[in-house]
Chains A and B, each alone.
Chain A
Amino acid sequence: MSVGIVSYGAYVPIYRMSQETISQVWGTRGGKGEKAIGNWDEDSLTMAVEACIDCLSGYDRKSVDWLYMGTTSPVYLEKQSASMIAKALDLRKDIVTADITNSLRAGTSSLRAAIDAVKAGSAQHCLVTVSECQAAPPNSAFERLFGDGAAALMIGDKDVAVEIEGSYGITSDFLDIWRNPRDTYPQMWEERFVVEHGYLERMPEVVSGLCQKYSVTPKDFNKVVYYGFDARRHGELSKMLRLDPGQVQDPLLSSVGNTRAASAFMMLVAALEEAKPGDRILFVGYGDGADAFMLKVTDQIEKIRNRRGIRKHLESKMMMPFYGKYLRFRDMMEWEQNRIARAYGSLTMAWRDREWVFACKGQKCRNCGNIEFPMQRICAYCQAKDNFEEINLSEKRGTLFTYSMDALTTVTPDPPNVLAVVDLEGGGRFYTTVTDRDTGSLSAGMPMELTFRRVHDEQRYHNYFWKCRPIRVQ
Chain B
Amino acid sequence: MAESIKDKVAIIGTGCAKFGERWDAGFADLVIEAANEALADAKVELNDIDAGWVASMWQCTGATLALPLKMQFKPVSRIENACASAIDALRNAAFSVAAGVYDLVLVVGVEKLKDMGEGGLPPGGMPSAHTVYEADFTAPGTFALAATRYFSKYGLTPAEGKKMLGMISVKSHHNGARNPKAHLRMEVTLEKAMNAPIIAWPLGLFDCCGVTDGAAAAVICRKEDARKFRDDYALIKGFGLSIGPGMGAVRTDYDYTIWQETVYAAEQAYKDAGIKNPREELSQIEVHDCFTIAELIAVESLGICERGHAKEDIESGAWTQEGEIPVNLSGGLKSFGHPIGASGVREVAEVVRQLQGRADDPSRQLKNPKMGLVHNQGGVPGKFMAGIAIIGLPG
Q: Say yes or no: A343-B145 contact (C-beta < 8 A), given A381-B251, A408-B138.
A: no
- Give B25 Cβ to nearest chain A Cβ, in Å: 24
Q: Is the CB of B131 within 8 A of A349?
A: yes
Residue numbers in B under 8 Å from A373 (CB-CB)? 250
Contact (Cβ within 8 A) B142 A404? yes
Q: With A380-B245, A444-B152 as given contacts, are A431 and B134 in contact (CB-CB < 8 Å)?
A: yes
Q: Does A429 contact B (CB under 8 A)?
A: yes
Q: Given that A342-B123, A344-B124 are contacting pairs, would A407 and B201 also be in contact in the complex, using a CB cutoff of 8 Å?
A: yes
Q: Are B148 and A444 in contact (CB under 8 A)?
A: yes
Question: Assuming A342-B124, A343-B124, is B138 touching A409 (CB within 8 A)?
Answer: yes
Contacts A406-B141, A409-B141 hold; do A350 and B250 have CB atoms under 8 A apart? no
Of the listed residues B147, B203, B252, B254, the one surrounded by the most CB atoms of chain A closer than 10 A to its CB is B252
Q: Is A427 an interface residue (CB 8 A)?
A: yes
Whether the Cβ atoms of A429 and B152 lie closer than 8 Å is no
Complex contact A344–B245 (CB within 8 A): no
* Distance between Cα atoms of A320 and B252 in the complex (Å): 35
Q: Is there contact, CB below 8 Å, between B250 and A372?
A: yes
Contact B123 A350 (CB under 8 A): no
With A344-B125, A349-B131: A406-B138 Cβ-Cβ less than 8 Å? yes
Contact call A419/B132, Cβ cutoff below 8 A = no
Q: Which of A404, A407, A445, A464 contacts B145 (CB 8 A)?
A: A404
A465 adjacent to chain B (CB < 8 Å): yes
Cβ of A433 under 8 Å from chain B: yes
Q: Are B135 and A456 in contact (CB under 8 A)?
A: yes
Question: Are the C-beta atoms of A455 and B122 separated by less than 8 Å?
Answer: no
Q: Which positions 413-450 of chain A face chain B at CB distance < 8 Å? A: 416-417, 419, 421, 423, 427-429, 431, 433, 444-445
Chain B residues with CB under 8 A of A372 = 250-251
Question: Per-position contact with A for B143-159: 1 when CB-CB < 8 Å, else 0?
Answer: 11111110010000000
Cross-chain contact B148 with A403 (CB below 8 angstroms): yes
Distance between A18 CB and nearest chain B CB, rounded to angstroms:
28
Q: Provide the residues of chain B in CB contact with A428, threshold 8 Å.
A: 252
Residue from the list A341, A345, A431, A464 in contact with B133, Cβ < 8 A: A431
Question: In the complex, are the beta carbons of B131 and A463 less than 8 A apart?
Answer: yes
B129 in contact with A343 (CB, 8 Å): yes
CB contacts (< 8 Å) of A403 on chain B: these are: 145, 148
Q: How far is the CA of A107 from the CA of B146 in the complex (A)?
A: 47
Given B117, B132, B136, which contacts A417 in the complex, CB threshold below 8 Å?
A: B136
- B122-A345 in contact (CB<8A): no
Q: Tell me if A427 and B252 are in contact (CB < 8 A).
A: yes
Q: How far is the CB of A337 from chain B (nearest CB, A)?
A: 10
**Which residues B144-203 have CB closer than 8 A to chain A?**
144-149, 152, 197-203
B interface, by DSSP: helix, strand, loop or mixed? Answer: loop
Q: Size range of the interface on B?
A: 35 or more
Q: Residues of A contacting B142 with CB < 8 Å?
A: 404, 419
What's the nearest-Cβ distance from chain B to residue A341, in Å? Answer: 4
Q: Report the separation of the CA atoms of residues A139 and B106 in the bound assembly, to the nearest whole angstrom.
A: 66
Query: Within 8 Å of chain B (Cβ to Cβ): is A80?
Result: no
Would you call B140 an interface residue if the criterion is a C-beta within 8 Å of the partner chain's C-beta atoms?
Answer: yes
Contacts known (A403-B145, A404-B201, A421-B249); A343 close to B125, Cβ less than 8 A? yes
B133 contacts which chain A residues (CB < 8 A)?
353, 357, 374, 431, 465
Q: Is B247 part of the binding interface, using a Cβ–Cβ cutoff of 8 Å?
A: yes
Q: Say which residue of B147, B250, B252 sits within 8 Å of A404 (CB atoms).
A: B147
Within 8 A of B (CB), among A340-379: 340-346, 349-350, 353, 357, 370, 372-374, 376
Given known contacts A344-B124, A344-B127, A380-B245, A405 and B250 CB-to-CB distance under 8 angstroms: no
Q: Is B270 part of the binding interface, using a Cβ–Cβ cutoff of 8 Å?
A: no
Contact yes or no, A419 B144, CB < 8 A:
yes
The smallest beta-carbon distance between B153 and chain A, in angstroms, is: 9
Interface assignment of B137: CB less than 8 Å from any CB of chain A: yes
Interface range on chain A (Cβ under 8 Å from partner) = 35 or more
Binary A-proximity of B226-264 (CB < 8 A = 1, otherwise 0):
000000000000000000010101111010100000000
CB-defined contacts of A346 to chain B, threshold 8 Å: 131
A306 CB, nearest partner CB in chain B, Å: 29
Report A259 CB to chain B, min CB distance, Å: 28
Q: Chain B contacts of A350 at CB under 8 A? A: 131-132
Is the CB–CB distance between A380 and B247 below 8 Å?
Answer: yes
* Nearest CB in chain A: distance from B28 CB, A: 26
Docked-complex contact B125 and A444, CB < 8 angstroms: no
- Report Cα–Cα, A463/B199, bound state, in Å: 26
Instruction: Judge if B126 is at the interface, Cβ distance under 8 Å.
Output: yes
What A residues does B131 contact at CB under 8 A? 343-346, 349-350, 353, 357, 458, 463
Query: Nearest CB to that of A374 among chain B residues?
Result: B133
B276 contacts chain A at the CB level, 8 A cutoff = no
- Between B126, B127, B148, the greatest number of chain A beta carbons within 10 A of the residue's beta carbon is seen for B148
Contact of A411 with B by CB under 8 A: yes
Question: In the bound complex, how far is the Cα of B199 from the Cα of A405, in angstroms?
Answer: 8
B369 in the interface (beta carbon within 8 A): no
- Tell whether, in the assembled complex, residue A380 and residue B251 are in contact, meaning their CB atoms are under 8 Å apart: yes
Task: Judge if A300 is at the interface, Cβ distance under 8 Å.
Answer: no
| CB pair B199 A407 closer than 8 Å | yes
Complexed CA–CA distance, A5 and B258 (Å): 54
B130 within 8 A of A: yes
Complex Cα–Cα for A344 and B130 (A): 7
> Are A343's CB and B123's CB within 8 A?
yes
Please give, as numbers and ranges, the residues of chain A lying within 8 Å of B137 by CB-CB distance.
419, 431
Q: Is B3 an interface residue (CB 8 A)?
A: no
Q: Does residue B118 face the partner (Cβ distance < 8 Å to A)?
A: yes
Kindly state whether residue B26 has any CB partner on chain A within 8 Å. no
Q: Which of B144, B149, B197 contacts A444 (CB 8 A)?
A: B149
Which of A340, A408, A427, A464 has the most chain B CB atoms inside 10 A of its CB? A408
Q: Which A residues are CB-close (under 8 A) to B122?
A: 340-341
B200 touches A408 (CB 8 A): yes
Cβ contacts under 8 Å, B125 to chain A: 341-344
- Knowing A349-B131, A419-B145, A444-B148 touch, does A406 contact B252 (C-beta < 8 A)? no
A323 within 8 A of B: no
| Distance (whole angstroms) from the CB of A432 to the closest CB of chain B | 8
Q: Is B303 an interface residue (CB 8 A)?
A: no
Those of A87-108 within 8 Å (CB) of chain B: none
| Any A CB within 8 A of the CB of B357 | no
Contacts of A341 in B (CB 8 A): 122, 124-125
Report the Cα distance A227→B135, complex, angstroms. 41
Asked if A185 is an interface residue, CB under 8 A from chain B, the answer is no
* Chain A nearest CB, measured from B305 CB (Å): 21
**Is the beta-carbon distance between A429 and B201 smaller than 8 angstroms?**
no
Complex CA distance for A409 and B137, rounded to whole angstroms: 9
Distance from B125 Cβ to chain A, minimum over Cβ atoms (Å): 4
- Given the complex, which residues of A lie within 8 Å of B141, measured CB to CB? 404-406, 408-409, 417, 419
Assembly CA distance A421 to B383 (angstroms) = 14
- The reply on A402 being an interface residue by CB < 8 A is yes
A463–B129 Cα distance when bound, in Å, is: 14
Residues of A within 8 A of B251 (CB): 370, 372, 380-381, 429
Residues of B whose CB lies within 8 Å of any CB of A are 117-120, 122-127, 129-138, 140-149, 152, 197-203, 245, 247, 249-252, 254, 256
Besides A341-B125, A463-B131, A465-B135, 13 more A-B contacts (Cβ < 8 Å) are A344-B126, A353-B130, A404-B145, A406-B136, A406-B141, A408-B119, A408-B138, A419-B136, A419-B141, A429-B250, A463-B135, A464-B132, A465-B132
Give 9 pairs: A residue, B residue, CB < 8 Å, sorted on A: A357-B131, A372-B250, A402-B152, A407-B198, A409-B123, A411-B123, A419-B137, A419-B141, A444-B152
In the complex, the 9 A-B pairs of residues with the closest C-beta atoms, listed nearest first: A404-B144, A406-B141, A431-B249, A465-B132, A402-B149, A405-B201, A380-B247, A343-B124, A406-B200
